[in-house]
Structure 1
Amino acid sequence: MILKDQITNIFVQVDDFCKEFEAQIKKMKLQALGDRKKRRNRTSLMSDSEIVTIMIGFHLGAHKTFKHYYKEVVCGYWKDLFPKSLSYNRFIELQQRSFVVFALFLKEKCLGKCTGISFMDSTTLKVCRNQRIHNHKVFKGLAERGKSSMGWFYGFKLHLVCNEKGELLSFYLTKGNVDDRDLKHIKNMTQQLFGKLFADKGYLSKSLWELLFADGIQLFTKLRKNMKNHIMKMEDKILLRKRAIIETINDELKNHCQVEHTRHRSVNNFMMNILGSLTAYCFFPKKPSLNLKKVNDGQLFLNFP
């Protein structure tokens, strides 16, 4: 269970961002000048910062279902921290209203910065078992069948980019049948990247390599058996072998943060679950990282005439 000091620290950061967000919204005159119709603007008992904090705390804890977490921890152990907590059903209805501020908080305050060394990979998000595809209704028309190294699945793909420190740089959600080498979503994910990008064989593509190279990014992947070998620096070979760092991140997102489960009953809550998982990972005190140091071995080289 998360300590009260930890959840309080998270709430302070989220609340500061929400106050800044609300101040910016007030400056922007979103209402049309000709629209003089009075609109109700009733405030809820729970603020957006409280809702976002509760969502993050669920993915940092050990509970497997949100219902037990909310009733036992939020309404019980953390009752003094959230004195105006809503009922479980009402909270589920209202949590989606915080989607915009939640997504902006993740993008502006949680994602890391590119250091010139990045790793890219995708992971599957199953929404149901394969035997229940024909009876599934929640994501009908949205989810698609796809195939990964683990076999066929029905759902979505979560594409991630991280640096050598284990910090997430960008993410992208697509349908399950979208190719990893799709130029459109790769272009969106790599807008803030530079330097070297390491990926697996699933990203082998000449057009993709040329697209990234034009943006100042050099793509490194392993070669297939029927391909000719290319000269590569030793440091690049070592970094390519260390691509397991992003596989570890995918494992933590699925097994600890529960980014994937088949109990969704709403598309909006599915998106909130993804935001909560990614944000919770960014608050991990220890992330999988590479301790990279360039060592000068002090060897003496003589140039003979």
Structure 2
Amino acid sequence: MLSLDALFCDVDDFCPVFEPQWHQELLSSCKRYRHRSRSLSLSEVMTILIAFHQSHYRNFKHFYLLMVRHYWQKAFPKAVSYQRFVAWMPSSLVPLCAYLCDCYGDCTGISFIDATSIKVCHNRRIAQHRVFNGHAARGKTSVGWFFGFKLHLVINDRGELLHVQITPGNIDDRKPVVELLRNLFGKVFGDKGYVSQALAQHLKEEHDVMLIAKPRRNMENHLMLWQDTFIARKRALIETVIDQLKNISQIEHSRHRSPANFCVNLLCGLIAYCHQPKKPSLQLN
């Protein structure tokens, strides 16, 4: 596990800058709220949530009761009960979204794009599932059918996240590409699911981004620069990143009880990956 002090310092430096701007953008309401002070600050709540995805624990309840309340008692002397902390988790959703954007890496001109499934239940329990009713959808990947969401992500050659987006499972992989690559430049490599001449032409003309997708079996091969051919063969880099997100950062499980806590779990897993000191990279330098 990474240093708790380093993680808290980074989060605590972000929160004082973000919170005043956040409260200014909130919509006004006629209702009166008490805004009672909490025993844990927003930065402490975010630190605990992110630290869970850096630990070896697979269950947040065990992590909180054994690690936070016992071993980290000096670091969090005012830690509340597990039930109260779970009730606070949805309030950290917006700050976590902003903090994830602050953790993004820099575009280097060589990027990789891919999508992966985020299952929320077993296929046999789709008809009985109620938590994500109206949000999740059936989708299909190269592995098979699933029920849940799709996580679309873009990384650079150093394995750093550049942009992510989540959609229902039945959305085409090419639909969010324009939004994902809006602020990038250079060449972006993807699999055959991103083959689209119209999309590639639009990205080239409007955003100066060259989308290079692996051709399908029934398509004619086109000549490519040897540099592009070499980098295209390294597209397994993003598969490695996805594997670490699912197996180390634990962004996928089927025990969610609310959509808000699902988003919190996903965001914290992505942030935990961004804080990894060693990420898979091509080492082109």
Fold-level match, TM-score > 0.5?
yes
Counterpart of 1:243, as a letter, is R
Match 1:164 to one of 144, 157, 169: 157
> What corresponds to 1:209 in structure 2?
200
Partner SS for 1:213: helix
> In 2, Cα distance between the equivalents of 1:230 and 1:81?
59
> What corresponds to 2:21 in structure 1?
24
> In 1, Cα distance between the equivalents of 2:31 and 2:273?
43
Q: 1:38 to 1:90 in 2, by over 3 A?
A: closer
Q: State the TM-score, normalizing by the size of structure 1.
A: 0.90
The offset of 1:282, in angstroms, is: 0.4
Counterpart of 1:112, as a letter, is G
Counterpart of 2:242, as a letter, is N
The offset of 1:7, in angstroms, is: 0.8
Single out whichever of 214-223 and 196-205 deviates more from structure 2: 214-223
Q: 1:216 to 1:67 in 2, by over 3 A?
A: same
> What corresponds to 1:219 in structure 2?
211
> What corresponds to 1:74 in structure 2?
68
The offset of 1:39, in angstroms, is: 3.9
| Counterpart check, 1:284 vs 2:273 | no
Single out whichever of 144-153 and 41-50 deviates more from structure 2: 41-50
Q: CA RMSD in A?
A: 1.5
Q: Structure 2: give runs of 5+ residues left out of the alignment.
A: none
The offset of 1:37, in angstroms, is: 7.2
Percent identity reads 49
Match 2:187 to one of 192, 196, 199: 196
Partner SS for 1:60: coil
| Counterpart check, 1:178 vs 2:171 | yes
The offset of 1:196, in angstroms, is: 0.2
Partner SS for 1:253: helix
> What corresponds to 1:104 in structure 2?
98
Q: 1:254 to 1:38 in 2, by over 3 A?
A: closer
| Counterpart check, 1:254 vs 2:246 | yes
Match 1:47 to one of 41, 45, 49: 41
> In 1, Cα distance between the equivalents of 2:194 and 2:11?
36
Partner SS for 2:18: helix
> In 2, Cα distance between the equivalents of 1:209 and 1:176?
23
> In 2, Cα distance between the equivalents of 1:37 and 1:124?
40
| Counterpart check, 1:8 vs 2:5 | yes
Question: Considering only CA atoms, is the larger Rg found in Structure 1 or Structure 2?
Answer: 1
> In 2, Cα distance between the equivalents of 1:57 and 1:93?
18
The offset of 1:21, in angstroms, is: 1.6
Counterpart of 1:291, as a letter, is Q
| Counterpart check, 1:263 vs 2:255 | yes
> In 1, Cα distance between the equivalents of 2:226 and 2:17?
47
Q: State the TM-score, normalizing by the size of structure 2.
A: 0.96
The offset of 1:225, in angstroms, is: 2.2
The offset of 1:270, in angstroms, is: 0.1
Partner SS for 2:219: coil
Counterpart of 1:22, as a letter, is E
Partner SS for 1:245: helix
The offset of 1:23, in angstroms, is: 3.6
Counterpart of 1:113, as a letter, is D
| Counterpart check, 1:244 vs 2:241 | no
Partner SS for 2:35: coil
Q: 1:207 to 1:29 in 2, by over 3 A?
A: closer
> In 2, Cα distance between the equivalents of 1:156 and 1:36?
36
The offset of 1:38, in angstroms, is: 5.5
